[in-house]
Amino acid sequence: MKVIVDKTNQALRRIPAWTIYIAGALWAAWLFYKGLTGALGPEPINALERAYGLVGLKLLIAGLAITPLRRFLGLNLIKFRRAIGVTTFFYIVAHFTVWAVLDVQTFARVWADIVKRPYITIGMSAFLLMAPLAITSNNLSLRKMGAAAWRRLHKLVYIIAILGAVHYIWLVKGWPMTPFVYLAIILTLLAMRLRFDFRRMVTRSV
Q: How far apart are CA 29 and CA 23, in angstroms?
A: 10
- With cut-offs at 50, 70 and 90, classify the pLDDT of residue 164: very high
- Prediction pTM value: 0.90
- With cut-offs at 50, 70 and 90, classify the pLDDT of residue 59: very high
Percent residues over pLDDT 70 in the chain: 94
Q: What is the pLDDT of residue 30?
A: 96
Of 199, 204, 130, the residue nearest 161 (C-alpha)? 130
Q: What is the pLDDT of residue 172?
A: 83
Sign of CA dihedral 143, 146, 151, 152: negative
Q: What is the pLDDT of residue 8?
A: 85
Of 82, 80, 57, the residue nearest 167 (C-alpha)? 57
Average pLDDT of the chain, as a whole number: 89
Number of other residues whose CB lies within 10 A of the CB of residue 164 = 28
Work out the average pLDDT over 32-54: 92
Q: What is the pLDDT of residue 127?
A: 94
Query: Are 118 and 170 contacting, i.e. CB atoms less than 8 angstroms apart?
Result: yes
Q: What is the pLDDT of residue 132?
A: 93
Number of other residues whose CB lies within 10 A of the CB of residue 202 = 9
Q: What is the pLDDT of residue 12?
A: 84
